[in-house]
């Protein structure tokens, strides 16, 4: 088949190797970056403060969190120490689909969700901040009342 008639993945031979085309972030890197963002936000750290802790700019942290740049092993270890989690934390809750080379390849070629429109509510900044502030409430009775109020409001909306 002449090159013009072949699909871009066949033309570049990446479908067989599982390598994504240049400029397409690997879904594993996106997942790991999302976990960095999630933990950083839960701790109330800015990208700038995290960057200072590891000697990077906030723009570099931003690229890591979006999966645009791959996080190396030594940097991931630094993040685990600063964010007070195990290295394994960054790989937890990874969708089964992207655990295989072919699945990651297919997921990487799909249209990416728009920034801020994640299907996972735990990946949203609003959710992370809500959880962080909730646990700052020191009185367990007040915290329980807020929890019950939230459940009641959610049920009334569904009814």
3 shares its domain with 27:
yes
12 shares its domain with 54:
yes
Instruction: Indicate whether 115 belongs to any domain.
Output: no
Residue with the bigger pLDDT between 122 and 153: it is 153
Residue 151's domain comprises 121-159
Query: What's the confidence (pLDDT) of residue 120?
Result: 67
Instruction: Indicate whether 116 belongs to any domain.
Output: no
93 shares its domain with 155:
no
pLDDT above 70 covers a percentage of the chain that reads: 71
129 shares its domain with 83:
no
Q: For the whole prediction, is pTM greater than 0.75? A: no
Interval 109-117 mean pLDDT: 45
Secondary structure string (H, E, C) spanning the chain: CCHHHCCHHHHHCHHHHCCCCCCCCCHHHHHHHHHHHHHHHHCCCCHHHHHHHHCCCHHHHHHHHHCCCCCCHHHHHHHHHHCCCCHHHHHCCCCHHHHCHHHHHHHHHCCCCCCCCCCCHHHCHHHHHHHHHHHHCCCHHHHHHHHHHHHHHHHHHHC
31 shares its domain with 62:
yes
Query: What's the confidence (pLDDT) of residue 130?
Result: 85
106 shares its domain with 157:
no
101 shares its domain with 77:
yes
Instruction: Indicate whether 17 belongs to any domain.
Output: yes
Total domains, the chain: 2
Interval 64-70 mean pLDDT: 92
């Amino acid at each position: 088949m002449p090159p013009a008639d072949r699909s871009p993945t066949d033309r570049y031979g990446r479908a067989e190797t599982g390598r994504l085309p240049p400029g397409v972030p690997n879904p594993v890197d996106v997942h790991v970056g999302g976990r960095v963002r999630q933990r950083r936000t839960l701790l109330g750290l800015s990208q700038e403060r995290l960057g200072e802790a590891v000697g990077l700019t906030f723009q570099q942290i931003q690229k890591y969190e979006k999966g645009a740049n791959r996080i190396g092993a030594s940097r991931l270890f630094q993040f685990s120490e600063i964010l007070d989690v195990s290295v394994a934390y960054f790989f937890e809750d990874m969708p089964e689909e992207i655990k295989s080379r072919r699945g990651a390849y297919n997921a990487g070629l799909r249209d990416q969700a728009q920034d801020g429109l994640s299907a996972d509510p735990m990946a949203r900044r609003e959710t992370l901040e809500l959880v962080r502030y909730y646990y700052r409430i020191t009185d367990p009775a007040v915290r329980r009342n807020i929890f019950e109020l939230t459940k009641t409001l959610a049920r009334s909306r569904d009814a």
